[in-house]
A and B are shown apart, each in its own frame.
Chain A
Amino acid sequence: MATQQTRSLARFMMAPSVVLLFVWMIVPLALTLWFSFQQYNPLNPIRDGFVGFSNYALFYSNPAFLQSILNTLILVVSVLLITVIGGILLALLIDQPMWGQGIVRILVISPFFVMPPVAALVWKNMIMHPQYGVFADIARFFGMQPIDWFGQHPLTAIIIIVAWQWLPFATLILLTALQSLDGEQKEAAEMDGAGFISRFIYLTLPHMSRAITVVILIQTIFLLSVYAEILVTTNGGPGYASTNLPFLVYQKALLEFKIGQASAGGVIAVILANIVAFFAMRAVGKNLDK
């Protein structure tokens, strides 16, 4: 039990880092808010000044805006579904005793070590390319027309790439959870005559629920800001088919130099991310309190 004194001492010693972290967050946020109310285009400096909410109105009325929100959500949900379900299956698989288990495990987690732009380039040019890609070769081998992934199914292509990158993370966390399951419990269930499926549903899955929660929360944060994969492969197109919110903000800021509108987009993104985080915490965060 901490005494009054040790608690004050702890607060006093923690204060600098708390202040630093606070300033670290508050300054960029305040600047973003400030710029979101300014007409600021460095390429056209004559028309500067306070413009009220018109940046927000312009950002909202942009035809790409609603599409980008929809794309952001589709991207997050699809990748979460693939990585969580795939992660559970892979974790179960590589938890089985087998020859060369160490090597298999390293191979499974290796995509996580590849940097996003590099991964995207490899997928774009060597795997999904409609002329030279492995997929195209396979399609031609079976006498089928190769799929033009980035032209016809751009968002699906990006979901596949991002899921490929995050699957190892999910697998790793879920595998650790799986390994912490008590062997005696499993044996007891087996002796009671529980089959593989009922053991999985009533024993393994509840045991993994906390790990699944962690995977969903961490991935949601990162998936809301997917950017490099889009920049490298489709540049948000064709049309707005693969533009998500971070990419739209990038387009406004660094291609069009509309700093005001980009800041407004940034503020909207922060608000939306908080809404998503709130619901995610409500829905799955309860698991963490147990």
Chain B
Amino acid sequence: MKLRTLTLGLLSASALAFAAHAESITIATVNNGDMVRMQKLTDDFTKANPDIQLNWVTLEENVLRERVTTDIATKGGQYDVMTIGTYEVPIWAKQSWLLPLDKLGDDYDAKDIIPAIAGGLSVDGKLYAAPFYGESSFVMYRKDLMEKAGLKMPDAPTWDFIKQAADKMTDRANGVNGVCLRGKAGWGENMAFLTAMSNSFGARWFDENWKPQFDQPEWKKTLQFYVDLMKADGPEGASSNGFNENLALFQQGKCGMWIDATVAASFVSDPKNSTVADKVGYALAPDNGLGKRGNWLWAWSLAIPAGTKKADAAEKFVSWATSKHYAELVASKEGWANVPPGTRSSLYANAEYQKAAPFAKMTLDSINAADPTHPTVKPVPYVGVQFVAIPEFQGLGTTVGQLFSAALAGQSSVDDALKQAQDAATAAMTEGGYIK
């Protein structure tokens, strides 16, 4: 009896000691395929770090954004690692809400991160989030329909060419739309596309004094071109179409061209899900010869909130999940085509990856063509290609997105939409104290 009590006592004491030693960190992430795969592979991390336990909170993109924003703004302290995008990083870093990532380990090779991506995640030269996967946008098109139209897609098309090609490819009787573009309102939906597009038309959100620019001719040209193009060659109900809706349309062969995220390439070229998998070609996002292309830049990244008490363990995890070692781990288990794209130059130099992903070169070229610190033709006071990295942008971007979506649906004219956008932006910037 005594021996038993003693053994039990010893056992519970050692369990307590272990529990005190083991640290558990909570990671908030988005339910995208690449992140779900990461969770399945965490054994590799916990084997190397037996004293760190991982708790996952996996959420849909919009919900995740609401939760982590509320948590960090109210200093809730629920999470030790947060998955955030290039929009949040510069704003939160400036508020001192994030820890700089300067202890990622000797073999991390931070210089290998693609410069455009690293630029979007750094403030004053310091990295505040490590990119898990990155993307730009480009043109995905149907080679067979281009041929039928008697045209050849250049590697770097102009908007005029896109319009001409869309007109020729549109065959409504057979359900083929020349071009599919985002129309669903939202700062991350239609405004991501339209803001990036407006850059190539020479437009900008604000001038150097934060005065909204929707009353300028460049915006009028952008929006008019977009509305006319979609009316002539776009699908029915385009004002409800976001990324997922257009992906489905393209996979079913209902779009001649689709200008959207580079990560879509692996979905449209996957024969299991796409009826046009063997007919897809890729080209850079269009331009107007003004020096800027209509492509964006985004990276889902891992960051550590300043309030965490487990910064070291969190940083170890961030380092593991965004390392070259992780890329090799995915390649060994699931093949090179499934490695998270768009973050490291070394991946694009890898011959095996180039073979497995025919869109690799165009993806890298697109990412390199975007410059978040100088996104527009004329100078601007903000960072961000398809967004403006200020806290007010989430709300303002969505409001303007609604107005432009109404113009696309024909509920208002282009001029009215622009005038209302100018008013909304002026009100928001005055309220935020940017303009007096």
A residues near B (Cβ < 8 Å) are 41-45, 47, 58, 61, 63, 124, 129-131, 136, 146, 148-152, 233-241, 251-252, 254-258
Q: Does B402 contact A (CB under 8 A)?
A: yes
> Is B69 a contact partner of A257 (Cβ separation < 8 A)?
yes
**Given A41-B391, A239-B412, A131-B420 contact (CB < 8 Å):** no
**A63 CA to B423 CA in the complex, in Å?**
10
Other-chain residue from B91, B236, B395, B420 in contact with A258 (beta carbon distance below 8 A): B395
On chain B, the residues within 8 Å of A257 by CB distance are 69, 73, 391, 394-395
Complex Cα spacing A152 to B183, Å: 13
Q: How many residues of B are in contact with the other chain, CB < 8 A?
A: 41
Q: A47-B433, A63-B423, A255-B394 are in contact. Are A131 and B405 (CB under 8 A)?
A: no
A71 to chain B, nearest CB (A): 13
Contact with A along B180-196 (1 / 0, CB 8 A): 00001110000000000
User: Is there a chain A Cβ closer than 8 Å to B425's Cβ?
Assistant: no
Q: Are A256 and B395 in contact (CB under 8 A)?
A: yes
- Chain A residues near B433: list those with CB within 8 A: 47
A42 engages B73 (CB within 8 Å) = yes
How far is it, in angstroms, between the C-alpha of A234 and the C-alpha of B186 when the chains are bound?
11
Does B294 reach chain A (CB closer than 8 Å)?
A: no
* Chain A residues within 8 Å of B186, by CB: 235
Q: How far is the CB of B191 from chain A (nearest CB, A)?
A: 12
Complex: A128 Cα to B102 Cα, angstroms:
52
CA gap between A151 and B245 in the complex, in Å: 14
Residues of B within 8 A of A124 (CB): 240
Q: Which residue of B lies closest to A241 (CB)?
A: B411
> Is B254 part of the binding interface, using a Cβ–Cβ cutoff of 8 Å?
yes
With a CB–CB cut-off of 8 A, which chain B residues contact A152?
409-411
- Whether A150 and B237, one on each chain, are in contact in the complex, defined by CB atoms closer than 8 angstroms, is yes
Given contacts A148-B409, A235-B184, A239-B403, contact A251 B237 (CB under 8 A): no
Closest 8 CB pairs of A and B: A256-B395, A42-B73, A239-B406, A130-B237, A43-B391, A130-B236, A238-B406, A151-B409
Q: Determine the residue in chain A with the shortest Cβ distance to B91.
A: A43
Contact B402 A58 (CB under 8 A): no
Task: List 5 A-B pairs, Cβ < 8 Å.
Answer: A45-B95, A129-B237, A233-B240, A255-B394, A255-B398
B199 sits at the interface (CB 8 A): no
Q: How far in angstroms is the closest Cβ of chain B from A40?
A: 10
Residues of A within 8 A of B395 (CB): 251-252, 255-258
Q: A43-B391, A239-B412 in contact; A151/B239 too (CB < 8 A)?
A: yes
Please, how many angstroms separate the alpha-carbon atoms of A205 and B74 in the complex?
56
- Is residue B105 within 8 Å, beta carbon to beta carbon, of the partner chain? no
Count of A-B contacts with CB under 8 A? 102
Q: Indicate if B289 sits at the interface (CB-CB under 8 A).
A: no
Question: Which B residues touch A148, using CB under 8 A?
Answer: 236-237, 239-240, 409
B66 at the interface (CB under 8 A from A): yes
Cβ B406 vs Cβ A241 within 8 A = yes
B249 within 8 A of A: yes
B432 at the interface (CB under 8 A from A): yes
Q: Which residue of A lies closest to B66 (CB)?
A: A254
Say yes or no for B368: interface residue by CB 8 A criterion.
Answer: no
Residue of B nearest to A44 (CB): B391
> Apart from A235-B402, A239-B417, A257-B73, what 11 extra A-B contacts exist at CB < 8 Å?
A41-B391, A42-B69, A43-B91, A235-B186, A236-B402, A237-B402, A238-B185, A238-B402, A238-B406, A241-B406, A255-B398
- Inter-chain CA distance A257–B428, complex, in Å, is 13
Chain A residue contacts of B239, Cβ below 8 A: 148, 150-151, 237-238
CA distance A124 to B244 in the complex (A): 14
- Give the CA-CA distance A241 to B433 in the complex, in Å: 29
Considering the chains assembled together, what is the distance between the CA atoms of A237 and B240 in angstroms? Answer: 9
| CB atoms of B394 and A58 under 8 A apart | no
Residues on A with C-beta less than 8 A from B240 are: 124, 148, 150-151, 233-234
- Complex contact A240–B254 (CB within 8 A): no
B-chain residues with CB within 8 Å of residue A129 when the two chains form the complex: 237
Whether A251 contacts B73 in the complex (CB less than 8 A), given A151-B239, A239-B403, A239-B406, comes out as: no
Q: For residue A241, which residues in chain B have a CB less than 8 angstroms away from its CB?
A: 406, 411
- Say whether B235 faces chain A, with CB atoms less than 8 Å apart: yes
Interface string of B208-234 (1 = CB under 8 A from A): 000000000000000000000000000
Q: What CA separation (Å) do A43 and B186 show in the bound complex? A: 19
Q: Is the CB of B405 within 8 A of A237?
A: yes
Please tell me if the beta carbons of A238 and B391 are within 8 angstroms of each other in the complex: no
- Closest chain B residue to A47 by CB distance? B433
Smallest CB separation, B363 vs chain A (Å)? 28
Contact of A239 with B411 at beta-carbon distance under 8 Å, contacts A131-B254, A150-B240, A257-B69 already known? yes
B385, CB-defined interface residue at 8 Å: no
Closest to B240 in A: A150
Contacts of A58 in B (CB 8 A): 431
Within 8 Å by CB of B185, from A41, A63, A233, A235, lies: A235
Interface centre among B95, B424, B431, by most chain A C-beta atoms within 10 angstroms, is B431
| B7 interface residue (CB < 8 Å to A) | no
- Return chain A residues, CB-CB under 8 Å to B409: 148, 151-152, 238
Q: What distance in Å separates the Cβ of A42 from its nearest Cβ neighbour in chain B?
A: 3
Question: For residue B166, which residues in chain A have a CB less than 8 angstroms away from its CB?
Answer: none
Task: Give the complex CA separation of A43 and B237 in angstroms.
Answer: 35
Query: What residues on B are CB-neighbors of A47 within 8 Å?
Result: 433
B169 within 8 A of A: no
Cα(A238)–Cα(B413), bound, Å: 12
Pair A151/B73 contact, Cβ less than 8 Å = no
Give the docked Cα–Cα distance between A235 and B237 (Å).
14
A124 to B254 alpha-carbon distance, docked (Å): 19
The CA-CA distance from A70 to B238 in the complex, in Å, is 26
Asked whether any CB of chain A lies closer than 8 Å to the CB of B408, the reply is yes
A44 to chain B minimum Cβ distance, whole angstroms, is: 5
A239: which B residues are within 8 A, CB to CB?
A: 402-403, 405-406, 411-412, 417
Q: Roughly how many angstroms separate A44 CA and B92 CA in the complex, as a whole number?
A: 10
Cα separation A47 to B432 with both chains bound (whole Å): 9
